[in-house]
Structure 1
Amino acid sequence: MSSPDSAAILDNLKELDRLKKEQEEMIQEINKMHKKLQSNPEVVEKPGDSSLSRLKMLYIQAKELSENEVSVSSQLLGQLDALIPSGNAGQHRRRIDSGEQKKKRMKADPEVPRQSASIRNPLESLANLKGEQVAARIVQEDNGKDEWFVVKVIHFDKETREFEVLDEEPGDDEDSTGQRKYKLPMSHIIPFPKRNDLSSAPDFPPGKHVLAVYPETTALYKATVVQARKRKNDDYILEFDDDEEDGSLPQRSVPFHRVVPLPEGYRQ
């Protein structure tokens, strides 16, 4: 790590520490106002009382501190990501570079549940994924490259700890026009967040690298969060790697239940 990089990271860490202390002090002030109003609610009816105005101002300041914390955290993430070697810099994915290639895996988003498994009890939860759609890492036979697709779980063998999955719409880029089955180890499967259980969906901050389904396809690619969700059921705004158009990366909207953490050691 070079000296300028180290200094910038340390500066942001100090700023985060300062913001945290200010937020703690702000929370204490807000709590004091809450107690005052709870114990003596009629005070707000007295002429000249400014309790509610004061409380509103405290909340505005608390919001500003929180937004500043998010901004500094995003800067830190970007600085750290820039220092961590990816091992795959400069590699282009033809499947996402070409508009025609993108269309080869296009399909409608069917109204079927995509339930995720609870990773706290792996074998039980993974066995319950039968019939669900998941993200699967599949090694291509022709070139040995890893690619991530949306597939449907057919069976989970607890003894071998292998999944049998079905690629329901492999697209016209596949040798076979029919559906394809694969047997994959647990490490090649990532359950999607539950569509009807918002608590199962992780929150990814701006600047975070994720794996996401490219719009109108069944393929997943590395992307960067540009805009986080304001509400639990909001879409993420993402920029996909190697998705350059007219010299810039377009921002694309992706449903929260089609975004998962970027696997450790991801390569494609």
Structure 2
Amino acid sequence: MAPVDLAQLTVQLRAQLKSYLAHSAAIASALEDANSMQTDVESGVQPLEACHEKLSTTYELILEQSEAEFHELDDCLNLLETLETAQNGATAEAKARAPPPNKKRKTDGSSRAGSPASSAAASPMPTFAGSPPNPSTPLPRPVSAAKAQPVLPSKSPAQHPLPIAPAPNPKKPTPKNRRDSLNAQLPLKPGRPIAVKESKKNLTTGQQPDNYILGRIVQQLQGDKNRYSVEDVDYDPSNPTPEGGKWNTTLKSIIPLPEKGDERTYPDYDFTPGMYVLACYPETTSFYRAIVHSGPHATSLGTGKKKETQKIYRLQFDDDEGALRDVPIELVCDPTPL
């Protein structure tokens, strides 16, 4: 069976409707003439004998035009039915070609479960905006930040509308302005949220050596602004690691995150659509490569006295089948440390 051209069917239907409207206009004009003659007869302006033949001709014309109008209408309905059938067939074919839904993701047993009380003064962790991810959708795989490559943003439709983002800050995240901004914040204070490479001692077989997780600063080491004791914010004592969720590292493995309430810790530039970033996947404490789709958008959370405004980026994570996720600005950062 030859494929149906939906565009051509639409053009034919439009032409048929125009023809139908033309017949309707002609009938209306003929009826107006007949009514005018009938009025003249009833008012005595013209005798019936004088306009009898003309009235008969007009009524015959109206009958012919009405029959033709019915045929035109039938043709329109047939075309409309064909167009609807073709559209339904295209939709069914698209669904048939769609990949089957993914099975529920298996957990790896890593220490991403409940978090004990922190030994440092913990900064409040930002909450997530938008709907939580579907539990049947697999998490993206961990990737090395150093291997991140830019790709175009997804054209997947947004899961829910967002406010229009303001014009992006034109300032670019160059290594120099990033370094200047970081130096102004050193030494990092206890409790400061960070994206940090997992300790090599805590890695399980097959894990990449440069996975980033959500952590916090415990303390500066020996007055050196480049060396710190850090901890995993989501360490699970029931699944212990050799270092008990804490280890020593340097700034080369740390990407400081904005500290909510302290504007000095936020970057003075925006990540623009198409840029690649490192971001915490919703409902986890693991960072993955993502592409900026839009933002930052200002959204409202909570109600009444608890209502607050939060800025979010809409991102497309690698290996997430093009889904768009909303992530707070506090959990989005440059993909490489300084």
Q: If you compute each CA radius of gyration, which structure gives the higher value, 1 or 2?
A: 2
TM (normalized to structure 2)? 0.40
**Larger RCO (CA under 8 A, 6+ residues apart):** 2
